[in-house]
Structure 1
């Protein structure tokens, strides 16, 4: 049990986190209110999450994750209902008091705020377990862009929840050994995998550190390993039981049948290693662990070999070239401008340096775990920039340790340490660099204005740029041919070719076309009232 002084310290941290959360969320809400009040959310995935929630509340089966208004015949999304549970609970709580529209506005602000609070508290907890100042870690976490981007009002997609689950697993891994700590780590790993596979390499790395600890100190760490393996197996089984109707085989883009089998194999390996007799020598334990690892690896590679080589192997090459390679967050760091690299990776790289320095300074067995995690997240970000927010979210405890050590060296070094630790500094420098390089370039057309025109037209199929699909679904009753989801291969290819003039727009079967010139009716079917559209030449 906590002592009274520890309880008071925890309460002070909670109050500080609550205050930081209120200040950040309040400022962001005021700045983004014109869009929030219209439910124009920051990211396409947030808009699609809102559409999925409305469909679920409207009567769609909870195991039916198909977006029936996307593509030619509907598209089975690779998402999970787990990411919908928190927002749904808030909608149901706010609905009787605020109505549907008011409940949605309140939810898109409250849900990211709750996740932000959890993120700040977990950053402080991890710092305490590493011997770093918790208060400084919390402040740096609040400034750790791009991690903070996923907690801004309107960010209701699953990325914020994934960060919280990753930090939960890390905090449990750093906690004193025991079944409970292991169970928390295993449950967080399983839930994160059900949400999406983006963090799978980091989760695997944390599980590997648990195995290493159990090999070095089986008497104390065996209980943790049992808890981790058991909880991971139980959560995976629960996720498989609650699987969507479209339980895909041979796909690597989410919690599919292959992903469930891989998680089950991993859980079995943990339990198998936990059952290795404690009395064995270190060499014999290593041999036993190695044999279990070889068998598990063989099972994993035979389960889904394509996933290890290329998760997007099934995607049409034309779609890779013309769409996926143009998606900013899916780009390699080597394809991004230097300003983007600095803004996205700056604080993560500083955190890696700080974690390595801390590991060198106090020789704690815990600091290398954080350094490995940050380094792995940076490697993932080098492949796809979308992982940069993971590195930024992991960095604050190490940076807090660096700031604390710099205090003893005087004011100049302290100021330098703070500047190197604040994520928004890198974002500001990157933005300034990008602004100079983009000076004089023309802006994109205000194509979103056409969505209001579409909303007043009879329901039909809309041909529009891929990134506009979720907004059209959220703000109109129409179906869309294209949206930024790789499973919608047929619809996206048809839209790309039609919008590029490579095939007639009418050949797509669309009723309306939306582009920079406005909205155009593509079918001249008789209607009782004329359509209020603007004409555009093909």
Structure 2
């Protein structure tokens, strides 16, 4: 079925290069530049103070500092967490590289502090610029130039996407979204070999950054297998994808972690447990491509099915524990319940508030419906196939966002082309209406179908349906709040997990723990101490640093983490300190509110 009012889908573009496949880029760069300048103005205070949105951003800067300060390329531990052992980390040096590059380039000109500020402000915006290019390229394989530019305009007006690209947001989430979008472009690329190669390289890079990409690797792989079974010409896309994914994953593992990583298994990062199954799958698929299966769809399924079984067998052999216990099994039950289960961005949508669940789902559902409609109304089989590929990937991303809330951003990016197709199609229909007042009214109503409007309206309605009493909370992570700590000699601080990274960035102190799951000793100690009775908590505070104990305990009574501890119902250390009841083994020192500093009496 077709419609003369639907925007004309572009034909596949056979010539290579970004310009050839995307049309005019100047308006895109202009929109990005306007947004970048606006964000630099909006966040000028945070930029000037080196104040981060999230603790992971602070930890990322500290990791970069340590690296350019002499810590080894392969050593990604944070040695000021839980000394003398140190806090193991699972992050990738790939995300550190652009931050470090800008710091090293700017440092001779402006000094280290300002160089860090420049890097933290600029890198997220540059990443957003790359996302705009990748999104535009994918959109141009579905839409004509003007609607494709509208996709970028909509992207730059969608808060659920932009929140990962604001100045100071230097952690890896923006890079994950970028890699997903590059892979999307590969899936839609009419040059099948190039598309498979592009998708494989993007997913491999994403896998090196975060194992949250594993379901997406399977999603793209399953889609390419299906296309290969349906159409023999798609064999080259599948083969290129499998080879690029496996080869790049092994190479990146070797380059970022050394030769030992090729035989070590880690559930929470790219390691042998994932890299070798990918390599075996690629080996079988590439070998199978040497024996063309002709016109039989079932026979074309043999090689990828066999490769999948071999890969699954290798995964079960190398990483059975990853499929059963998971990366958090070393946390004590108390720490698991009181810390991990309260990290809501990693929880499924059915555990979120009604407001957050709707904000996450509605833009994706609208985009999915629009994408399916675009496929239904496509003018030819080739355009219909492109839209169906888009719909399949969006559906997969939507399902993953339902399982893990923070994955919604990928789904929201994938929803943009279909949403723009719907808006443009409806706009053409509205323009054909005979009544001028009705045209104006319907055009204004069309704005409600943008992701930002949908989310805003839903959040307003949901918040009225589930009213809550606002609780005044302390910002214990700001540099101004932590400033009194700089007057203390470098010490080991027993602090809530949520302020640990900011303490590392803004002071010379060490901390017992941060909210990074490989640091199980620190996480267990901090959660147990604040939830224990004061006399029992002393053992946790004194048990760190090989039994020498922490030097100071710091906290803010109304920071979110402490409030959660006090809600446990126990007569805990957190509860007592929040009530200004200081146990005799702590001595409260003068400090500017809301920060509280206690010296630990070790006698």
In the alignment, what sits opposite 1:224? 237
Partner secondary structure for residue 66 of structure 1: coil
- Whether 1:482 aligns to 2:513 is yes
2:102 matches 1:90: yes
Query: How far does the alpha carbon of each residue in 1:219-245 deviate from its partner, in whole angstroms, 9 at most, with x for none?
Result: x33333333233223212212212437
1:510 aligned residue: 550
Alignment-derived partner of residue 183 in structure 2:
169
Between the two proteins, the alignment pairs up a number of residues equal to 531
* Aligned match for 2:419, one of 369, 380, 399: 399
Aligned partner (choices 524, 527, 531) of residue 493 of structure 1: 524
Unmatched 5+ stretches in structure 1: none
Whole-Å Cα distance in 2 between the matches of residues 523 and 270 of structure 1? Answer: 65
Residue 459 of structure 2 corresponds to: 430
Q: Does 1:127 align with 2:139?
A: yes
How far off is 1:419 after superposition?
A: 1.9
Which residue number corresponds to residue 334 of structure 2? 318
1:265 counterpart (267, 280, 283): 280
1-side partners of 2:457 and 2:505: how far apart? 32
Q: Distance in 1 between matches of 2:318 and 2:445?
A: 50
Quick one: which of 70, 73, 76 aligns to 1:59? Answer: 70
- Taking the aligned partners of 1:206 and 1:512, their CA distance within structure 2 comes to 50
Question: 5 Å matches for 1:110-125?
Answer: 110-125=122-137
Q: Would the alpha carbon gap of residues 444 and 524 (structure 1) be closer, same or farther in structure 2, given more than 3 Å must change?
A: closer
CA 1:213–1:2 in 2, change beyond 3 Å: closer, same or farther? closer
* Structure-2 change in CA distance of 1:474 and 1:260 (3 Å): same
Residue 472 of structure 1: how far off its partner (Å): 0.7
**Given that residues 273 and 315 in structure 2 are in contact (C-alpha distance below 8 angstroms), is that contact kept between their aligned partners in structure 1?**
no
SS of the residue corresponding to residue 62 of structure 1 reads coil
8 Å contact 1:177–1:223 — kept in the other structure?
Answer: no
Q: CA separation in 2, counterparts of 1:140 and 1:157? A: 23
Structure 2 counterparts to residues 36-55 of structure 1, below 5 A: 36-55=47-66
Q: How far off its partner does 1:28 sit? A: 2.2
User: Residues 264 and 535 (structure 1 numbering): CA distance in 2 closer, same or farther, change over 3 Å?
Assistant: closer
Residue 365 of structure 1 aligns to a residue whose secondary structure is helix
Aligned to 1:212: 226
Determine which structure has more spread, i.e. the larger CA radius of gyration: 2
8 Å CA contact retained: 1:143, 1:424: no
Q: How many Å separate the matches in 2 of 1:262 and 1:500?
A: 42
Q: For residue 507 of structure 1, report the CA deviation from its aligned partner.
A: 4.3
Deviations 1:316-361, CA, capped at 9 Å, x for gaps: 2322201011112022211111011122332122212212222222
Q: What SS class does the counterpart of residue 40 from structure 1 fall into?
A: coil
Q: Which residue of 2 aligns with 1:160?
A: 174
Alpha carbons 1:344, 1:427 under 8 Å: kept: no
Change (3 A) 1:405 1:40: same
TM-score of the superposed pair, with normalisation by structure 1: 0.90
Q: Secondary structure at the match of 2:554?
A: strand
Asked if the contact 2:203/2:213 (under 8 Å) is kept, the reply is no
Q: 1:409-429: CA deviations, max 9, x gaps? A: 204555444422233540464
Equivalent position SS for 2:396: helix
Change (3 A) 1:507 1:372: same
Contact 2:277 2:311 in 1 (8 A): no
For the residue of structure 1 that corresponds to 2:164, the secondary structure is helix
- Give the structure 2 partner of residue 330 of structure 1: 346
Structure 1, 355-364 or 320-329: larger mean CA deviation:
355-364
**Corresponding residue for residue 572 of structure 2:** none
How far did residue 208 of structure 1 move? 1.9
Cα deviation, residue 152, structure 1: 0.8
In structure 2, do the counterparts of structure 1 residues 261 and 286 end up closer, same or farther at CA, with 3 Å as the change threshold? closer
Contact 2:282 2:307 in 1 (8 A): no
- Counterpart for residue 367 of structure 1: 387
Q: Describe the shift of the 1:446–1:291 C-alpha distance in structure 2 as closer, same or farther (beyond 3 A).
A: closer
Q: 1:61 Cα shift?
A: 0.4
Q: Which moved further from structure 2: 312-321 or 115-124? A: 312-321
**CA shift at 1:76, angstroms?**
1.7
Q: Which of residues 451, 462, 482 is equivalent to 2:482?
A: 451
Distance 1:457 1:522, change over 3 A: farther
Give the 5 Å matches for 1:149-298: 149-218=163-232, 220-244=233-257, 247=261, 249-279=264-294, 281-298=296-313
2: CA distance between counterparts of 1:203 and 1:415?
A: 40
Contact 1:345 1:378 in 2 (8 A): yes
- State whether residues 144 and 396 of structure 1, in contact with CA within 8 Å, keep that contact through their aligned partners in structure 2: no
Residues 312, 382 of structure 1: alpha-carbon distance in 2 compared, 3 angstrom cutoff: farther
Q: Could you tell me how far 1:466 is from its partner in structure 2?
A: 1.0
Give the structure-2-normalised TM-score. Answer: 0.81
Structure 1 Cα separation of the partners of residues 198 and 584 of structure 2: 55
**Partner Cα distance (2:265, 2:503) in 1:** 31
**Structure-2 separation of matches of 1:138 and 1:155:** 20
Name stretches of at least 5 consecutive residues in structure 2 with no aligned partner: 1-12, 431-438, 559-576
Specify whether residues 425 and 265 from structure 1 end up closer, same or farther in structure 2 by C-alpha distance, changes over 3 A only: same
- 1:420 corresponds to which residue? 449
Aligned twin of 2:492? 461
Counterparts in 2 of 1:39 and 1:389: CA distance versus 1, 3 Å: same
Residues 92-111 of structure 1 deviation map (CA, whole Å, 9 limit, x = unaligned) = 22222222111111111211
Secondary structure class of the residue paired with 2:245: helix
User: 2 CA distance for matches of 1:291 and 1:442?
Assistant: 56
Distance, in Å, in 1 between the alignment partners of 2:460 and 2:48 is: 27
Between 1:514-523 and 1:66-75, the stretch displaced more is 514-523
1:18 is matched with 29
CA distance in structure 2 between the partners assigned to 1:523 and 1:37 by the alignment = 39
Q: Distance in 2 between matches of 1:140 and 1:156?
A: 23
Structure 1 residues 435 and 447: CA distance shift in structure 2, 3 A: farther
Q: 1:64 aligns to what SS in structure 2?
A: coil
Give the match for residue 318 of structure 2: 303
Q: 1:42 to 1:521 in 2, by over 3 A?
A: farther
Stretch deviating more after TM superposition (414-423 or 93-102): 414-423
Deviation digits for residues 106-153 of structure 1, max 9, x if unmatched?
111211111111112222221211236201111111123312111111
